[in-house]
Structure 1
């Protein structure tokens, strides 16, 4: 595998963010959702206006993973009021999405580590996320990285209400592992 470069996304990158966001979400979930629900979600969630608002939010950050200069994945993290569920002393990993051709090639792990590094820089005690209860690949990934389920919340995809498992990891555990 060639080197994975991580770059911060800016408002100049909205078109690239739309492309990678739509592509990775579609690849991951189209086979288990209706075409109408997918199209509604992609149109709303990756509109230029919505992405510009998210990119201009000082409590949210996006990062691209690039291989050979091509965007192959992205990460979105949230702090403070930008979190989907307000958890004190925490950051939220809202999205780590990777093109299927790059699954199993350490791209997700590299983005995950970027999120953990930022959490340490921010002085967070927790990292948390929501993952669809039927996204077994993602669930295994987060469990392998030490996340534990602590709750659930609803996620709307078009007219379908789905359930996300809420998972968290205490950063103190990571410090202990690094020290040993």
Structure 2
């Protein structure tokens, strides 16, 4: 397994990993039509190409060592979260996903370490994220990585709205 900084030609691989991990994570939890619509819009290659072109964003791709199949990724970018104390020196972990087959092997932790290190290099005071409030596995992962609950938001997936927790990691500690 290897993790590397994603480049301009990785939009397709990121989109594939994004849609696959979203489907795997939420199939049986969210309505199927909502998942398909969400992936069609939010995991289109152009979404990732736009992030890759944005100097404010950083992306990492986790790949199998043999064949370089995309199995996970992480994205940080300027935040777009409904927090009253949001500031210019905050960053948001927009996405961090890994196929479940690769959970428990340290790849998720390494993706998180890359994102946190980049946020520190950029001088961010906090790394923020939104996570589905019913995703207990993800909430536990974030808690193990030092994130704390700081708010809530409503998140649209397809035709339905779901509750997200907003978490923050204080990078000044």
TM-score by length of 1: 0.87
1:71 aligns with 2:67: no
For residues 28-177 of structure 1, what are the structure 2 equivalents within 5 Å?
A: 28-68=25-65, 69-79=68-78, 83-85=79-81, 86-173=86-173
- Give the Cα separation in 1 of the matches to 2:24 and 2:160: 18
CA distance in 1, matches of 2:46, 2:116: 28
The CA deviation string for residues 26-79 of structure 1, in whole angstroms up to 9 with x for no partner, is: 000111111211110110112233332222122112110123133221001013
Question: Would you identify which runs of 4 or more consecutive aligned residues in structure 1 move more than 6 Å?
Answer: none
Post-superposition offset of 1:93: 0.7
Deviation at 1:131, TM superposition (A): 0.8
Q: Which has the larger share of helix? A: 1
Contact 2:11 2:46 in 1 (8 A): no
Residue 153 of structure 1 aligns to a residue whose secondary structure is strand
Q: Is the 8 A contact 2:127 2:171 kept in 1?
A: yes
Which stretches in structure 1 are left out of the alignment for 5+ residues? 174-180
- Report what 2:13 is aligned to: 16
RMSD of aligned residue pairs (Cα, Å): 1.4
Unaligned stretches of 5+ residues in structure 2: none
SS for the counterpart of 2:27 is helix
Aligned residues: 167
